[in-house]
Amino acid sequence: MIKTIEVTGKEPIIMISMSRWDGDYSSAAISLAKEFSKTNHVYYFDHPFTLKELVSQFRSPRIKNRLKSLLFGTNACRSVKGYPEKFHHVVPRVVLSINWMPRGFFHYFLLGFNERIFFSGLRKVLKEEKIDRFIFFNSYNPFYGRTLPKDLLKKAYFVYQSRDDISQSEYVSKHGVNLEREAILNANLSLATGKSLVKKLSRFGPKVSQLPNAADIEIFKSNISWERPAELKGITKKIIGYTGNICHRVDYDLLYTVAKEHKDKVLVMVGPRNDLDKHTYDFEGLGNVIFTGAKNIRDLPAYLQYFDCTIIPFKMNELTKGIYPLKVNEYLAMGKPLVSTPFSPDIKEFGEVIYLAEHTDDFVKKIDQAIHEDNDELKTARIELAKTSSWTNRVALFWKLLKNANEKQDN
């Protein structure tokens, strides 16, 4: 860890993550950046597009809207309609795709090449915006900014945050484990979202503090009458719902059983499908399962309002053990009953207001129990608990953790 600037709390925040601001599902990093931008200027850098993505997605709106920035670095810093005035979206120039390479000299050489492209764009923003001191907040992207160049270290306070157990992530674990370790060792303040993740990462040396995920209370409001989404129109049965990435975290044996045993209900899965190589089940063949595809975070409350029971059917393994799920607070903010597997210490802390199911049969039964027992009193309890887990509270916790880290560093 390198001692850098003293932080007043008013500095601009340069933020990076593995999410892009217009990604396919809700991002905790984006929500945190938006909350920061209520008081501080935030420059949110996209996860860089690779040359391979540029070619394969050339006709997509995301590439077209960014093309000049990706190729020439022009108009890289932009405002986003509907976001706070101090939120700035930055498009880095295109980089090389190198994750496929084996560990070794050539990978590190090209990693350095990619980082030079990234940091040249960062320097340009600092110059154009006349920024001479800033907080560099790396939210789970050790591939860019596991450390800072010497000239930038003199101007920056370096924060690294882990959101998942990177060793269990199929694609990024190849290089990510060692790169994340470097980031934690170099950071002035290291954070993780889940309790198990904090414990695991603290073994690297420096203490890692917990900064849990939260809910965007301003978006997830239960007292608004949302128009029924097109996919839900005409449905008269009870609805079991899930929102988020449909990926390797999901227990598809459990999910298929839920759909099969609840034929009197409709299972609605809202989010991008990354499951087709993870199982062999014919969900559509059951006749009571709907996959809506990816939706903007602002569209999610409309779906949640019409769900009779929400679920988190995650596997129980090393990956999920370290997860503090973003969606739990979103579900609770809408007052919805929730049935979940007890996949992490963090989800177990919600045991008084959600239904935790130890096995498949229990999960199936507790969906009926959750729907049957739901009432205004329980709904209010869920909403009140979610309010304590707002992004406003998380930002306040961040500044407290940063202050404590500064005081320990000075001593």
The SS3 call for residue 52 is helix
> What CATH class is the domain 230-387?
alpha beta
Q: What local confidence, expressed as pLDDT, does residue 2 receive?
A: 54
Q: What local confidence, expressed as pLDDT, does residue 23 receive?
A: 80
What's the CA gap between 392 and 387, in Å, rounded? 10
**pTM check: above 0.95:** no
The DSSP letter of residue 94 is P
pLDDT tens, position by position, for the chain (411 residues)?
455 688 999 999 999 999 998 887 778 999 999 999 999 999 999 999 999 999 999 999 999 999 999 999 999 999 999 899 999 999 999 999 999 999 999 999 999 999 999 999 999 999 999 999 999 999 999 999 899 999 999 999 999 999 999 998 877 889 999 999 999 999 999 999 999 999 999 988 778 999 999 988 889 998 899 999 999 999 999 999 999 999 999 999 999 999 999 999 999 999 999 999 999 999 999 999 999 999 988 999 999 999 999 999 999 999 899 999 889 999 999 999 999 999 999 999 999 999 999 999 999 999 999 999 999 999 999 999 999 999 999 999 999 999 998 877 665
Do the Cβ atoms of 119 and 111 come closer than 8 Å? no
Q: In what order do the strands lie in the sheet with 289-293?
A: 289-293, 265-270, 238-243, 309-312, 338-340, 355-356
Rg (CA), the chain: 22
Q: How far apart are the first and last CA of the chain?
A: 14
**Tokens read off for 377:** 């009193």
Q: Looking at the domain that runs over 13-214+390-410, which CATH code has it been given? A: 3.40.50.2000
Same-fold call for 13-214+390-410 versus 230-387: yes
Domains in the chain: boundaries: 13-214+390-410, 230-387
